[in-house]
Amino acid sequence: MDMEKLIESLSPNEIKILPYIGESINEICEKSGLDKVSALRALEYLKEKNIVEISRENKKIIELGINGALYRKRQLPERRLLNILREKRIISFDNLKQSNLSDEELKASIGVLKRKDIIDLKNKKIILKTGEISKKFPEEIFLESLPLSYESLSEKQIEILKSLGNRKDIIRIKEEKKIEIKVTELGKKITSLKIKSNLIEQVTPELLKKDYLWKGKKFRRYNLTAKVPEIYGGKRHFVNQAIDYGRNVWTEMGFKEMTGDIIDSSFWIFDSLFTPQDHPGREMQDTFFINASSKNLEKVFSKTYLVRGTPLGIKKGNLPDKNIVKAVKESHEGKLKGLNSKGWGYEWSEEEAKKMALRSHTTNLSAKTLANLKINELPAKFFAIGKVLRNETVDWSHGFEFYQTEGIVVDKNVNFRHLLGYLKQFYTKMGFEKIRFRPAYFPYTEPSVEIDVFHPGKKVWLELGGAGIFRPEITIPLLGENIPVLAWGQGFDRIITDYYKIKDLRELYKNDLTQLRKMKAWITKGTSK
């Protein structure tokens, strides 16, 4: 393309930034009056025309965190502790409670000063060991120097960074894209010219109606082969797509959906399912119990998640019909008539059953469904796909918040083989081929089984959850009769990771736009036609 044709191909925004293309992107935006997106787009067009060269580099910038900004103004906690010790030299822990240091800040300060050999601890007292405390700590100097590029840090500064990084919100590392613009030889020739564009940019109906508007004038040249910005259409998150697909599979198999509350009483989460009140699964290491005022609950949870019939925010929930409560109590204690069971051999507590918690499984929905089911409505099949919460250590295969798929089949004529058949049919329809069943134990089912699927990325079998036939200790109190109830509850997030070959469960919910744009839709492989 000759110079004249090249000039005729320049857009108004390209012409605006031409005088400034040797400067930084921020300066280009400021001087041209364009926003950053428009300026970058114009630069890309100039790059296609060999007028500029653009290089991008990711840089790590060390900045002050929320606490870091506060400490730079008010001093680090260890410095404030030293200021107290400077006057008294010896101070007891009880007296420190009157200081303006929080428990967390006090703990961190003592640890730092002890490592620096500035203080000693004896008989619940802090003793200042040295009088030379006016000199600034390396940490203080480091905070005063921020922001800094990670690449510019010395070895000593990197050590300080690691130390401060172990403390809450003092520093943060931000990734920044550095854009370098270099003017080519052609670009130098173009910028030396004073370009004023009087070209017609668009052909409109109004323009064509009046000859004088276009006759004898030039139109801007367009490169039809040039790259244009990609446009991504909106779509549902792939996790929601998978949930919808799973919901359709259960519906196709003749199941009705169960829904319910995320916050529920321990009665429905545990007691109705014959889980003893001293079971480890009810303790704090597994379950998030509710202990908050109504004001706080209103802020955290929407009304959708609140227990029906329970006043908002109270620490104890309401129990169901007294006959059901009585039957559940007697099943735990081994006193239920018509039930050949010793129970758990303890005195069941109604107060314990009233404790509120975030549901740790969706089986509470199955229990409630059974309690409301009438014998003349049998046979019946129900499913649920809902969110559950557990106090788990988060890693590649565990999360504290995840989805579970639940199901029950209530029928006088079903058995354990039917249970395996339903599960195999579901997972086949979901597109899985490698499935296995293992014998297991659960307080609420007998016999019981674990379901696993093979994870191709990690080359391991993933446990999805348990299944079995509800014990009579559950069915008799809730249904009034010992009728076979096939039941299961599996982790749905793990199903999704296996399908999409995702190696880390945490990747399901990270804010990666590239992943979200490129993720394929959930296809119907394995589904019967």
With contact defined as beta carbons under 8 Å apart, do 175 and 60 qualify? yes
Q: Residue holding tokens 């668009």?
A: 202
Task: Give the C-alpha separation, 183 to 47, whole Å.
Answer: 9
Exposure string over 453-479, b if 16+ CB within 10 A, otherwise e? bebeeeeeebbbbbbbbbbbbbbbbbb
**For the segment 163-206, what is each residue's pLDDT rounded down to a tens digit?**
898 888 899 998 888 888 999 999 888 888 877 777 888 888 88
Task: Give the C-alpha separation, 134 to 333, whole Å.
Answer: 68
Q: Which pLDDT value is given to residue 331?
A: 94
Written as one string, the DSSP assignment of 385-453 is: EEEEE--PPPBTTB-SEEEEEEEEEE-TT--HHHHHHHHHHHHHHTT---EEEEEEEETTEEEEEEEEE
The pTM is what? 0.57
Residue 293 has pLDDT above 60, yes or no: no
Give percent of the chain above pLDDT 70: 90
**For the segment 213-236, what is each residue's pLDDT rounded down to a tens digit?**
888 888 888 777 767 767 777 778
- Quote the tokens at residue 289: 């119990």
Give percent of the chain above pLDDT 90: 31
Q: Which pLDDT value is given to residue 523?
A: 60
Q: Which pLDDT value is given to residue 310?
A: 44
Q: Which pLDDT value is given to residue 239?
A: 87
**For the segment 309-367, what is each residue's pLDDT rounded down to a tens digit?**
444 444 566 788 899 999 999 999 999 988 889 999 899 999 999 988 889 899 999 99
Find the angle CA(90)-CA(92)-CA(95) to the nearest 5 degrees. 115
Q: Which pLDDT value is given to residue 338?
A: 82
Residue 408 has pLDDT above 50, yes or no: yes
Q: Which pLDDT value is given to residue 522?
A: 66
Q: Which pLDDT value is given to residue 132?
A: 67
The edge-to-edge listing of strands for the beta sheet with 435-442 is 256-257, 380-389, 401-410, 485-491, 460-470, 445-455, 435-442
Pairing of strands 380-389, 256-257: parallel
Backbone angles phi, psi at 469, to 5 degrees: -110, 125
Who wins on pLDDT, 287 or 323? 323
Who wins on pLDDT, 120 or 456? 120
Among 15-19, 114-118, 363-367, 393-397, which stretch is predicted with the lowest mean pLDDT? 393-397
DSSP secondary structure letter of residue 169: T
Q: Which pLDDT value is given to residue 62?
A: 92
Task: Give the C-alpha separation, 185 to 50, whole Å.
Answer: 9
Task: Give the C-alpha separation, 118 to 135, whole Å.
Answer: 12
**For the segment 133-143, what is each residue's pLDDT rounded down to a tens digit?**
778 899 999 99
* Interval 66-86 mean pLDDT: 88
The edge-to-edge listing of strands for the beta sheet with 148-149 is 148-149, 52-64, 171-183
* Interval 68-77 mean pLDDT: 89
Domain 239-518: CATH superfamily, name plus number: Bira Bifunctional Protein; Domain 2 (3.30.930.10)
118: how many CB neighbours lie within 10 A of its CB? 18
Who wins on pLDDT, 97 or 483? 483
Q: Which pLDDT value is given to residue 458?
A: 67
Residue 298 has pLDDT above 60, yes or no: no
Who wins on pLDDT, 442 or 97? 442
Q: Which pLDDT value is given to residue 313?
A: 45
Q: Which CATH number, 3.40.1350, 1.10.357, 1.10.10, 3.90.1570, labels domain 64-175?
A: 1.10.10
Q: Please, what is the average pLDDT of the chain?
A: 84
Among 3-7, 117-121, 300-304, 387-391, which stretch is predicted with the lowest mean pLDDT? 300-304
Task: Give the C-alpha separation, 10 to 32, whole Å.
Answer: 15
Selection from 186-200, 424-438, 476-490, 504-518 with the highest mean pLDDT: 476-490
> Domain-by-domain residue ranges, the chain?
3-51+184-213, 64-175, 239-518
Task: Give the C-alpha separation, 209 to 192, whole Å.
Answer: 38
Q: Which pLDDT value is given to residue 176?
A: 80
SS3 521: coil
* Interval 72-78 mean pLDDT: 88
Confidence of residue 437 (pLDDT cuts 50, 70, 90): very high
- Quote the tokens at residue 407: 């199901």
Three-state DSSP string of 269-317:
HCHHHCCCCCCHHHCCCCCCECCCCHHHHHHHCCHHHCCCCCCCCCCEC
- Quote the tokens at residue 380: 């019946």
Residue 295 has pLDDT above 80, yes or no: no
Who wins on pLDDT, 311 or 391? 391
- Cross-strand partners of 171: 64
With contact defined as beta carbons under 8 Å apart, do 338 and 476 qualify? yes
Spatial CA neighbour of 271 closest among 339, 368, 338: 368
